Amino acid sequence: QKEVEQDPGPLSVPEGAIVSLNCTYSNSAFQYFMWYRQYSRKGPELLMYTYSSGNKEDGRFTAQVDKSSKYISLFIRDSQPSDSATYLCALTSGNTPLVFGKGTRLSVIA
């Protein structure tokens, strides 16, 4: 079993839809949870950063962490064509390398 599992998609939604992206993990030592957005042939861009369980909101983006279930989510409200990208979850226990999911490819259709 991989440390971090992420459905690679692809996921295709109409403009304005609510998008839900998810990762599960097996290592209970993970304490810091990040979501990155990566456009084709570019470096990952940090979108959200959360510590431990709970919710964090930033504009149209909400990150949710449930440590008891080892499950993290990213919600995108009012999705736009410019949101079309690959979304990567990344986890760390602190001063350790990030462990990434495979990424979910999202297409938002106008």
CB of residue 53 to other proteins, shortest distance in Å: 16
Residue in this structure with the two tokens 């998609």, named with its chain if needed: 9
Instruction: Note if the bond before 97 is cis, omega within 30 degrees.
Output: no
Single out the segment in contact with other proteins by CB under 8 A; choices: 11-19, 57-65, 72-80, 84-92.
84-92
List 1, 68, 82, 95, residue binding other proteins (CB under 8 A): 95
If one asks whether residue 3 binds other proteins (CB under 8 A), the answer comes out as: no
List 68, 82, 97, 110, residue binding other proteins (CB under 8 A): 97
With beta carbons less than 8 A apart as the criterion, state whether 88 and 38 touch: yes
CA–CA–CA angle 91, 67, 94 (5° rounding): 35
Cα 42 from Cα 26, distance rounded (Å): 29
Residues of this chain that interact with other proteins (CB under 8 A) are: 4, 6, 8, 32, 34, 36, 41-46, 49, 88, 90, 92, 94-95, 97-103
